[in-house]
Amino acid sequence: MVSDEDDASEANGWNPWYGPLALLVGFVASIVSGVVVLVIGHAAGSPLNNPTPAVTDVATAFEEIGFVLTALWIASWVARPWPAQFGLRRPSVRIWQAALVVIVGYLTFLLLSALWTQVIHENASEKYLVKDVGAHSGVVGVLASCLVLCVIAPFCEEFLFRGFIFGALRNWRGPIVGALITGVLFGAIHVGSAPLIDLVPLGVLGVLLCGIRQLTGSIYPGIALHSLNNAAALVVNAGWSFGAFCVVLVASLALIALVLALGQRSLRLQLV
């Protein structure tokens, strides 16, 4: 039985290799689930070599959720996991301080990304991804793309990378080494879904997000920054207005907050 004091603690007995193992197992599971979705989609009329946005969205959602389930399964090898171990807890700093950390973190990421672009003299384009997720395919496609990129992906990826992988790796050589390895893994997992030249900035973002969790004791600020970054990328590459960006971001953060609030009690009961 986990006490209330333990339930609020980030302490865990995870081995450092649990994190990379979760990533590997989750990746294999995502391939299997993706093939299943593609086959079902093909039976419904979606081409195998160029799946429809709806099939892409469903496959991506299954992939992201699969990573979370994998992390929970491996974490349970030690003992019953509880939410705070994954950073699912109120930040240890004031709300305005957490917001300031998110803003500074995002501005730092933008600055480093701009410097990287200047160094390699090339600009990346993610318009193919915008097309794949259906950002230009009507109201349903727009809502689905926003849900997948700005709600599901930020939560699931922060849960896996900053909640579990970083939590396991910092048990080994501390937060700095843990953050660096987590950043490399975070960049690497985006091979195929982001332009190659973006992998280095994404790795840097992965390190910054680890730092945010370390500073705040929570993955909530990281989820907010992740959603902010994805919403900005989606809106810019889809050619939407600043007003659309504000709507997407506010709606995404509100939905994430609602799901977390409603699921807090069930998380405490069901992380077994």
Stretches in the chain below the pLDDT threshold 50: 1-6, 127-128, 131, 269-272
Task: State the pLDDT at residue 195.
Answer: 77
Domain boundaries, the chain: 4-270
Compute the distance between CA of residue 77 and CA of residue 239 in angstroms, rounded to an integer. Answer: 46
Question: Long-range contacts made by residues 33-41, C-beta under 8 angstroms, separation at least 24?
Answer: 33/59, 33/62, 33/63, 33/66, 34/59, 34/62, 34/63, 37/62
Task: State the pLDDT at residue 1.
Answer: 36
User: Sign of the CA dihedral 53, 56, 62, 64?
Assistant: negative
Which tens digits make up the pLDDT trace of 126-140? Answer: 544 554 555 556 677
Task: State the pLDDT at residue 7.
Answer: 57
Taking each helix axis from N to C end, the angle separating 138-147 and 220-238, rounded to the nearest 10 degrees, works out to 150
CA atoms within 13 A on the CB side of 180: 5
pTM of the complete model: 0.90
Exposed/middle/buried for residue 27 (C-beta within 10 Å: 0-12, 13-18, 19+): middle
Cβ(89)–Cβ(52) under 8 Å?
no
Compute the distance between CA of residue 110 and CA of residue 132 in angstroms, rounded to an integer. Answer: 25
